Each structure stands twice: as C-alpha cells, then as structure tokens.
Structure 1
Amino acid sequence: MTSDDGVGASAPTNAVTRSETETATPEPLLTGARTLYAVLAVTALALLVRVVGLGARIMHWDEGRVGYWALRYHENGEFFYRPIIHGPFLPVVNDWVFTLIGISDFSARLVVAVVGGLFPLAAWLFREHLDDTEVVGLALVLAANPLLVYYSRFMRNDALVAAFAVFALGFVVRAVDTGRLRYLYLAGASMGLAFTTKENALLYVVCYLGAATLVFDHRLVDIAARGDSVAGYLRSRPAWAKRRLTSRWNTVEYGAGVLAVNLLGAFAVFLAVVAFFYAPRPELWQALGNPAALLDVLDEATIGAAESFYDSWADGGHQDHPYLPFFYGLSETLVYGAGVALVFAVVGLAVDGYGSHGARTGDSGDGGRRGRRWLVAFGFYWGVASLIGYPIATDIEAPWAAVHVVVPLAFPASVGIAYLYRETRASVATRDTVSIGLAAIVVVAALSGVVGANAAYMDSTSQEDKEVLQWAQPENDLKTTMQKVERIAEANDGVDVLFYGSYHPTTDEELLYVEDESSLDRMPPGGPSWHSRLPLPWYLERAGANVTSTEPSEERTELQNPPPVVIAYEWEAEEVRSQLPEYTEHRHLFRLWSDEIVVYIDESAIPEE
C-alpha cells in the first residue's frame, strides 16, 4: 500500500529514497583537468602492466619469424618488403631498439608494449563527443581489455595498427572540433604508421567510410521521421559544408583554400611515412647520396609495395577457407577475452540511444539531449563490420583478429561503463546494496580477465586459455632449455646445433632440414622446412650459433661426431636417443596441443658460470 505522495507507507522512518537524495547527489568526480589526470593515470598503469615481465614468455612461432628477419636486417642492413611478414615497421624500429638496449625477448616486444600502453591516450582526442566519465571509460577498455593486454605484449602488428589507426581517427575529429590544421598532419602521420605495420590498415579506412555512411543514413532517416524533406536536406549540404568549414577555419584565420592545401600536405606526410618504411635497404641510404636513384627507390616503396601486397593477396589463397568456422572461432575469442566489453557495448548502445546525454563535462547525464550520438553509433557499426569481415580477410584462424573487433566496440562500451559508474554512485547514495553488489561483480569480472590474460602469458600450456592463445605457441619451459643452448653456442667451437631432419608422420611434410644454411642469411628462407624450426632460429641467431641439419630419409640416419645440441621431433626421439645415450633429453610442447620437440644436450659442453 502506498500513500498519496507515492512513498511506501510501510517504509521505515530512516529509509533513504532516491527522490530524497537526488538533490544531495555528489558533484561529478571527473571534470575538466581531472579527466585528463585520470586518463594519464590509466595510461601509466597500462604501460606498467604491459612492460613488467615482458620477456618472461618464450617467443611464439610468428614472433620468432619476424624477429629472425629483424635480426638479419640488424646484422647485414638488408631489408625489403615481404607481405608474408607484414609491414616493415617492426624490423625497422627494432633495429634501432636493438642498437640502444640490446637483443632480447624483452627488447623485441618493447615497441609493441609501449604503443599498446599509450593507446588509452587516444580517448582524450574524443572528449568533445563523450562526457568525462565516458572518456575515462574508453581509456579503461583500451588499457585493460584482456585481449588488448595480451597482444600488446606480443611482437605482432595487430595492437600497433589498431592504435595508430584510432589515433589517426582521433586527430581528424580534433581537427574538425577545433579548426586547428596541425591535427591533420598528425592524422596523416598516424595513418601512415598504421599502413607500415599491417596491411589491414586498409580495412580500417574501409570501415571508417562504411560506418560514416551508415551514420549519415541514420541522419536522413531521422529527418524523414520528422516529416522534413530529405531531398531538401541533401541539396542544402554543399552550401552548409562550405559555411561550416569556412567559419570553423576562419577562427584560426584559415580559409577553405588553405584547408585544401593542408589536406594535401597531410596526405604528403602520409606518403612520406609509408615511403620511408617501405623503401628497401640499403638502397634507401644509397639513394640519399645519389638523387638520380631516389625515384626508383620511392617507386619500389609505394607502387612496388602495393603490387607485392596485391599479388600476395590475390595468389596466396588467403580467402580459401570456410567462413563459419572462422566466424565461430572469432566469436568464441571475443566472448572469452572480451565478454565484459561486449556487455558494456550493448548496454552503452541502448543507453545512448534511449537515454539522455549531458554536456561534455557533466557526469550526471540529467537534462541532456536525447538520441544516439554519431561516435557511439560509428563505433558499433565499425565493430559489427569487423566481426563479419575479418573471418573473410584473415588467412588463418587466430585470436589476434579479435583485437580489431574489441577496439571499435570500446566506444559504445565506454558509455556502458559510464552508465554503471553513475548508477553505482546513485546506489551508494540510496544504500542500494543489491545494485552495488552487481556493480562489484562486473568490476571483479573485468579485473579477473586481465589477470587471466597475464596468467596465460606466463603459463602458455594451459588449454583453458586456448581461446586467447594461438596454437603455434611453444610451452614456456623451452625458454630455459634454449638458454642452455645459447650458453653452449657462445663457448663452443665448430657446429653447435644439429636439426635432425624428418618427415611429418601424417602429412609427409619435410621438416627441420635446410640444404644450404647460408641461404638463411637473406630473405626469403632457403626452403619451407625452415619454418618448422620456429621460433628457435630467433634464439640461435642472436646467440651466433653455428647450425646445420640432416636430410630426412626413410633409412636410419647415423649421427657422426654429433654437436653438443641435437634437436628433433618427438617421433624421432627413440632413434636419436639410441645414438646419444650420454645426452640429456628435454621434451617440450612445440605447437600447443599438437607437436612436441626434443632437445638433446651434452651437459658437459655448458660452460661454468
């Protein structure tokens, strides 16, 4: 039973209702400079999470491949674009890193970790279109999502292309918001860097254009729903755009003509960044002293690189796979590694579409406008397009593709996080313990995801984490064994390591054997069987090991004067063991849930420390 004023008659006299506390709701915690400080604090924590223990995990197969050729470039100064290892950013930048701080698993991953750690700063660029709490919410997703954390601690380009592409978008938004043309140049440089990391930077541009088209279409639908003329609206757009741009840039004494010149300048910056990274080495350095050769180098760095990528994409059979298994795998990874972000994204989309939005600096959301904001819808459309498109675009079923779905969904998720924050504060004020408990569960789930991702980073053999781990990850104990091998290589004279060539028992594929080891000095490698050694060549190359191999044979291969280290697949273990009775045997999972590698070591060859 209720009283006439709507308050329950049986409520205790000391009960606190929401209506009674609305006027006493605390002022927003995040306003103005405090929001920037909060984003900076989140970024600092993101950097810390990514850098601590960065070198603890053994290199993944893919890390070992890119790392090996980065080492070769560091040693011989020769590099050219090969689409199979993606863009030249990591080899080029890691050459400088190796020079400054040395060669290690830590230094090889450091650039990715730093860029991934700085990624939350991008949230600040969208502050005119999100309120303060939402800006911090966006930074939190970019800092703490388990998939983004894991693959920011992985020497691969996915976190890099995502960060650079979102920064480019943010700089364009700031240029429009402020009328400051310098942001266009920063956007050109950022998108140029995105294109130097991985070819799917092109998909980011396509998704941006597609999402913008859908947002514009929604605008037309809204106009039609109000009974206004869509045709009249479209006819008025050119004149409106001219007035808007002119007035916007006139605030900084720029006109439309100067804007066009600066757009071309930003595009020139984009091309300069792309050309610098894609230019073959040492031809680039030689051309700087011979301007006549510079045009050929620039042609190879731009048109030549584009042709190489197209040929690889068109002829490589990258899309020759069934769609549904790839879609299912990507969806499973998202549920496992980004489930909290997905829930927040759905909540945020609903809240933004049917709730109200306060001013940028307001946290309460009271009294604001209604209707979905373009940035929230833009992120959602971009995310859905990525979810549908990446199973087609990727050539292997790999969890890192989920990074490109999580990042766009972070925008609507930021609205969901802000909504939880506001509702939790209101619940605290009204002593609503049920709502507070639910909010605590969500926060614990998000934090446990980050902890779980880092636990998987350190303990890569757990099948419980296979939705995040890609199958070509060796178990971490192999790292300790390779440290012994490196110590032997540093002290031993002659051949240090012998790979025992073999045929795969089911596919009959030739493994481990390379006829001419000197062919591995320059790209491409001398035979496909070299890839079956990865990631071990990274460790052997940085130790300067002298490596050879035996040719696979149906007949028993005799080991004459074996070196101190022999490496074989587990199906050859019995045969090798019979010939190396004095060697210590170290077995390790080489491809999780698949192959096993056996390393035989003459312990007497390990130098004393």
Structure 2
Amino acid sequence: MTADEESANVRHWARESTSAFGRTVGTRAALAVLAVTLFSLTLRFFALGSRVFHWDEGRVGYWILRYAENGIWEYHAVIHGPFVYHVNKYLFQLFGASDFVARAPVAVVSGLLPLTAWLFRERLNRVEMVTVGLFFAANPIILYYSRFMRNDVLLAAFMVYALAFYTRLFDTRKPRYLYAGTLMLALAFTTKENVLVYVVTWVGAAVLLLDHRLQLSGEDRAEALPGPLYEAVHAYRSAGENDRSPFGAFGKKLVVRLLSSRWTLHVVLGLLFFFAVVIFFYAPRSRGIAEPGLWKAFSNPGLFPAVIEEATVGSWESFVGKWGEGNQKSYIDTFRSLGAVLWKSSAALLALAGVGFLTDRYVGDKPRDVVAFAFYWGFVSIIGYPVIVENAFPWEVVHAVVPLAIPAGVGLAILVRWGSEAVTEGDAMSATLAALLVLLVAGQVAATAATTTYMHPADQYLDDGESERNALVQYGQPAEGIRPTLERVRYAATNNEGTDVLYYGSDFYVADESENDRWAAGGGWYDRLPLPWYTEMYGAEVDSTTDVQEIESNPPPVVVARAGDRQVVAQQLDGYRAFEEELTLWGSETVFFVDEEALPPEQRGESG
C-alpha cells in the first residue's frame, strides 16, 4: 500500500468515525429528549382527574356538554376560543365526559413541549435540549395549569411549537416545516384572544434581532443575516437615492425576485392553510336552528359566504374587542400580584433565564437567536401583561414562564457544564458548588411542583398552620373535600325519576332552566358553578325555587342551598342528611341536603 493510499484510508476512516460518533451523540440526545417528554406526560396524566373542576372549567365544560347535545355553537370572546369546545366535544362522544378526559387535550399539548427542544437542535447543544425540556416538563406554574382545562397553556405551547417549526424551516429550508409551523400558529389563534399580544411580542423580538445583526461589521453581517435578506439590504444600500423607492429599480427587482421565488407558492398556500384552519374552528354550528352553520353549508353551498364572514370578520371584531379596554386597575398592584406568583412558582427559572441570556449574548462566541428571541418574548410579557389583563389571575404568568424556559434551560446547562469541566480538571471545590446549585434548582422546582400540583391542588394554604398561601390556586377553585358529596349527588340522580337536584334561594335561582342551554346562562346559574358541569354530566334533572314551601310539597333527593338558609330548608325536609361544602376557596358555604334513602347503601345510617 502506497503512502497516498494509506493516507486516503486514514482520512476515510476518520470521516466515517466522525459521522458514526455524530449519529451516536444525536441518538443519545434524541433518546434523552424522548425520556424527558415521557416524564412530562407522566407528570400531567398522573391523577389528572383528582382535583374538582374550577369555576372556569365548570362553565366551559357545561357548555361543551350542551354543544355536544344540541349541536349549537358560536364564538363568544368572553369564554375564549373554540379549540377546547370542538376537541372536547368529540372526546366526550368517544370516551365519555369526565374531569380526566376534559383536561386531556391540555395535558397532551403541554406534555409534548419537551420535544420542541429537538427541533432546536441546530441552535441548542445536547445538554441544553435536555435542560430546556426539563423546565417545560416540571416548572410548577406550567405543570399546574397543564392539568387544567384552560386555554393559557394551550396558547403558549402552540406558539412554542410554531417557533420551533419555523426555526427548523430556517435551518433546513424544507417546506414541510412552513406548513407545520403555520398549523401551530393557526391553532394558537383558536385558543385565546391574547394571541394578538404574542404576535406583537414576536414582531418586537424579531426587530431587535435584526437590529443586532445590522450593527455587525460587514464580514460578520454577511454570515449573520439570512442570505436573501442580506442581499436585499446590500442591494438597497448600493442603489442610488432615486432607485430606493418602492417604484424604483430596487423595488422592481425585489418584486420580480419575490414573484419568481419558489417560496412564493408555499407562502400563499400557507396563508390559505392558516385561514382554512381558523375558519373551520370559528365557523358557527347551528343544528336545529334557522341560522347559518358550517355543516349546513356543505349541503347548501350558498351559506358558505355567511359562514366564512362570521368565522372571520365577525369573530375578529369580537376577538379584538375582548382586549380593547385592558387593565382598569393599578399597573403597580397588578404587577405586584403577578410578580408574587411568578417569584413563588418560578424563582429558579427567572434567575437561570437571566444567566442563560446574558452568558449567551456576552460570553459566547456568537449570540444565538433562539435564546435571545425567547428571552425578549418572556421579558416583555412580564412587564406587559399587567397593562392588558383584566384581573391578576395566576394563570396569566404562564405566558411569560413558557418562553423563559428556553433561556433558563441554557442557564441550567451552563451549571452542568461548569460542574462537568470542574470534575475533569480535578477542581473539587467548583464541582461541589456546581452540584449544589443544580440540586438547589432541582429541589426548588420539585418541592414547589409537588406541593402545589399534587399535595395541595385545591387548598388555599400549603401548610396546616395556614402561614403559606398557595399562589397557584385561584379563588374560583372549590375547596378540597367536595368530591365525596358530588359522588352522593351522582348516585342520587342515577337512581331517581323526575327532578334530581333542586336549588333554593335567590343566589341560585333561574326562572327558566332552559335559559342555561346556550350562552349566556340566566339568573343565578353562575353562582352554582362548578356544579352545573357535574349535574349535566350525571344527567341530573335540575330545577330552582325561592319558595321554601315548594321544597316541602315534593322534595327531590338533593336540595342545594346557601349555609345561611340551612335552618329554613332543614325544617322542610325529613330524613335528609346535610353536607356543607365550599364552592370556592372561601366565602361560599353551601349545604347539600341528600335524602337518606338516596345515599349509597354503605353510607345510610351514618351520622351527618
């Protein structure tokens, strides 16, 4: 073998070895991301149906059940986007309605968030992909509201998916990522109206990134800007002053280039795809009533213009109007309230997000767009949401925490790398300090998630001494302990004919119960929440009265009244047991009177 042949063989072996090593590292990283994703899904699905529905879950759940029954739905911004309505309608029809099934879509969509780290694999190293995934999986505020039938986590997750697919599009130039990202963006528009805030935030973050690149020197700028954009900027600067107008030589060349680009067709198809998804979700459904509806239009195409107009123009007006007034309260008070939730639930994430962003921007060889973009997105959300939210509810901080998980994962990876290098170099002090910091972060996240999500998911306080409030539980959450009483109501309704549940008192009274079949419900229906979700799910016949004599004449197996009316109602009932519960965290004491004979056999004769 000649020297040249031997050299060629060595080079060939080196290339194959390098390629094999890359595949091995990539496979290990992919398996690690998959493991984190399985961990994320497990955290969400474990005992998913154990917490009783929050008021907000209850009202939406009730109207989904009514929609599944009567086939009538139309968009109302006050109860947010149509995604959970349409998805859960079909899930209820397939698997039956339950707390678990109702929350499953949010659990799945958020549980798969760690997979997005793999789409960022050109921008994040393998350790960072895992640490970013871990923050998506176990951050307490993300985890708590991933087990909640609300749109906030859905919106944040879909926007991260969109960012990940669009980033992958930029890295690979493969059109399929354009359509995947557009689908995620369209689904985000079907969740909640503050997607408009996301769009504004994204535009602002993109402008900042572009400005960073334009400030680089000529050689660096050529590498930093996307090819077509760099060429456009260079052509603009090279053009004469008269040629820079939209109708000058530069403008004409730009238009010709855009029209001749192979991406023009994909962009047009992407826009059509976006509107098709939005129209499908927002189009009204009108089975059995004399109004235009999506399914009616397929048998009567003349209805399509009205359906499309309602799904686009009509929904847009309501969509934008939801955010027209903004926060009517003090910015400082709202900022403090949301800031307290953010700090108690995500202190480690906040600190590491700052570390990750600053280190990547000022210490690394070249700042990475995805890290800066996510940090700007999250930071602006922290300072911006107190301006726009109507109420300082804890779920609002989701919109800042989810994007900040990306730079926070980068920050955690720095600690891991620091510790790994210290071990390699035999620096015991640095290795120990790095390990302690990582354990401190893991401990804070794990302890907070365990107490808020699993141990006290419906409690006002996290300790028996009632000294530490649960920052993640909102007032509309029924207090812990109501589930056994709900099961008694279920049993009584299942084994009864006629009216099953009678509400007494002005708080609960509705003159005509059929008013509750479509949004908005009548009278005191909202003060019953979340009970309407459960009685509808149980198939219970419900009525209400303000006449105490009506109770005595023909009492149903279950009578519900405020605790203040307990004695008045008790005098009208014989052989009933009373169970007092809170329909919110506090201040809503409600008594359930259940006929002794309507209780499960094993509970009859017990003291009330």
Matches within 5 A, 1:452-601: 452-456=451-455, 458-462=457-461, 464-502=468-506, 511-527=507-523, 529-551=524-546, 559-580=552-573, 582-601=575-594
Cα distance in 1 for residues equivalent to 2:444 and 2:594: 44
- 1:607 Cα deviation after fit: 5.1
Q: Which residue pairs with 2:361 in the alignment?
A: 353
CA pair 438-239 structure 1, distance change in 2 beyond 3 A:
closer
Structure 1 residues 544, 387: closer, same or farther in 2, change over 3 A? same
Query: Partner letter of residue 90 of structure 1?
Result: V
**What residue is the counterpart of 2:210 in the other structure?**
216
Residue of structure 2 equivalent to 1:339: 347
Read off the aligned partner of 1:542 and give its amino acid letter.
M
Alpha-carbon distance in 2 for matches of 1:540, 1:531: 14
2:408 matched to which residue of 1?
Answer: 413
Distance 1:318 1:604, change over 3 A: farther
CA distance in 2, matches of 1:61, 1:399: 14
Query: How far is 1:336 from its partner?
Result: 0.9
Q: Secondary structure at the residue paired with 1:197?
A: coil
Q: Does 1:272 align with 2:280?
A: no
Listed as ranges, the matches of 1:74-93 within 5 Å are 74-93=68-87
SS of the residue corresponding to residue 585 of structure 1 reads strand
Cα offset, 1:455, TM superposition? 2.5
Partner of 2:381: 386
Unmatched tracts of structure 2, length 5 or more: 1-20, 237-257, 287-292, 463-467, 603-608
Distance in 1, matches of 2:440 and 2:455, equals 22
CA deviation map 1:147-188 (0-9, x unaligned) = 111111000111111111111111111111111111111111
Deviations 1:202-234 (A, max 9, x none): 21111110111122223344559x999xxxx99
Aligned to 1:287: 297
The one-letter amino acid paired with 1:290 is N
Structure 1 letter corresponding to 2:598: A
Please report how far the alpha carbon of residue 263 of structure 1 lies from its aligned counterpart in structure 2 after TM superposition.
0.9
Range moving further from structure 2, 177-186 or 452-461: 452-461
The equivalent residue for 1:443 is 442
* Correspondence for 1:207 among 201, 210, 231: 201
Aligned counterparts of 2:447 and 2:399: Cα–Cα separation in 1: 22
Residue by residue, what CA displacement relative to the aligned partner does 1:254-302 show, whole Å, maximum 9, x if unpaired?
9952201211111111111110011111311111111111121111111
State the 1:564 CA deviation.
1.6
Give the Cα separation in 1 of the matches to 2:593 and 2:461: 25
Q: 1:149, 1:438 → 2: CA distance?
A: 22
Residue number among 101, 106, 116 corresponding to 1:107 in the alignment? 101
Q: Which residue of 2 aligns with 1:135?
A: 129
Contact 1:189–1:270 (8 Å) recurs in 2: yes
Rounded Cα–Cα distance in structure 1 between residues aligned with 2:596 and 2:551: 21
Change (3 A) 1:51 1:236: closer
CA distance, structure 2, for counterparts of residue 407 and residue 169 of structure 1:
12
Contact residue 491 and residue 607 of structure 1 kept, 8 A: no
Change (3 A) 1:240 1:132: farther
CA distance in 2, matches of 1:73, 1:344: 44
Q: Deviation string for 1:355-402 (max 9, x for gaps)?
A: 23xxxxxxxxxxxx2x43222221111111111111222222211111
Q: Which amino acid aligns with 1:447?
A: A
Other structure's SS at 1:162 match: helix
Equivalent residues of 2:549, 2:572 under 8 A apart: no
Q: How does 1:319-334 map to 2 (within 5 A)?
A: 319-334=327-342
Q: 1:145: which partner in 2?
A: 139
Deviation (angstroms), 1:581:
5.5
Shift of 1:541: 0.5
Secondary structure (helix, strand or coil) at the match of 1:31 reads helix
CA distance in 2, matches of 1:469, 1:561: 39
1:436–1:521: structure 2 CA closer, same or farther, 3 Å change rule? closer
Counterpart of 2:290 in structure 1 is: none
Report deviation, 1:458: 4.3
SS at match of 1:347: helix
Task: Give the deviation of 1:28 after TM superposition.
Answer: 11
- The 10-residue stretch of structure 1 (438-447 or 37-46) with the greater mean CA deviation from structure 2: 438-447
Aligned partners of 2:333, 2:488: CA distance in 1, in Å? 40
How far apart in 2 are the matches of 1:595 and 1:198? 29
CA distance in 1, matches of 2:228, 2:497: 77
Distance in 1 (alpha carbons) for counterparts of 2:322 and 2:43:
36
Question: RMSD of the alignment, in Å?
Answer: 2.7
Q: Residues 294-343 of structure 1, C-alpha deviation per residue, up to 9 Å, x if partnerless?
A: 121111111111112234444xx553222222111111111111111111
Q: 1:61 to 1:390 in 2, by over 3 A?
A: same
**Would you say the 8 A contact 2:294–2:307 is kept in 1?**
yes
Question: How far apart in 2 are the matches of 1:392 and 1:551?
Answer: 42
**2:47 paired with 1:45:** no
Change in CA separation of 1:137 and 1:603 when aligned onto 2, cut-off 3 Å: same
Question: Residues of 1 paired with 2:382 and 2:389: CA distance?
Answer: 12
Give the secondary structure class of the aligned counterpart of 2:502. Answer: strand
Contact 2:193-2:322 at 8 Å conserved across structures: no
Shift of the 235–261 alpha-carbon distance from structure 1 to 2, 3 Å rule, reads closer
Instruction: Return the offset for 1:559.
Output: 4.4
Structure 2 counterpart of 1:307? 317
**Structure 1 pair 558/536, CA: closer, same or farther in 2 (3 Å)?**
closer
Deviation at 1:603, TM superposition (A): 2.2
Tell me the TM-score normalised to structure 1 length: 0.84
Aligned residues: 541
Provide closer, same or farther for how the CA distance between residues 426 and 603 of structure 1 changes in structure 2, counting only shifts above 3 A. Answer: farther
Question: In structure 2, what is the equivalent of residue 603 of structure 1?
Answer: 596
Map of 2:152 onto structure 1 = 158
Matching residue of 2:14: none
Amino acid at match of 2:196: L
Amino acid at match of 2:351: V
Aligned-residue offset at 1:239 = 5.2
CA distance in 1, matches of 2:202, 2:260: 24
Gaps of 5+ in 1: 1-26, 243-253, 357-368, 503-510
In structure 2, give the amino acid aligned to 1:293.
Answer: L
Deviation of residue 461 (structure 1)?
A: 4.2
Q: Distance in 1 between matches of 2:552 and 2:342?
A: 48
Q: Describe the SS at the equivalent of 1:469.
A: coil
Question: How many Å separate the matches in 2 of 1:561 and 1:568?
Answer: 16
Task: Please say if 1:395 is aligned against 2:366.
Answer: no
TM-score, structure 2 normalization: 0.84
Q: Given that residues 287 and 293 in structure 1 are in contact (C-alpha distance below 8 angstroms), is that contact kept between their aligned partners in structure 2? A: yes
Distance 1:343 1:351 in 2: 12
Q: What SS does the aligned partner of 2:590 have?
A: strand
Q: Return closer, same or farther for 1:235/1:518 CA change in 2, 3 Å cut-off.
A: closer
Alignment partner, residue 161 of structure 2: 167
- Counterpart of 1:22? none
2: CA distance, partners of 1:269 / 1:227: 34
Q: 2: CA distance between counterparts of 1:395 and 1:60?
A: 19
The alpha carbon displacement at 1:353 in A equals: 2.5
- Give the 3 Å change call, closer, same or farther, for CA 373–30 of structure 1 in structure 2: farther
The whole-number CA distance in structure 2 between the counterparts of 1:214 and 1:278 is 33
Report sequence identity in percent: 44
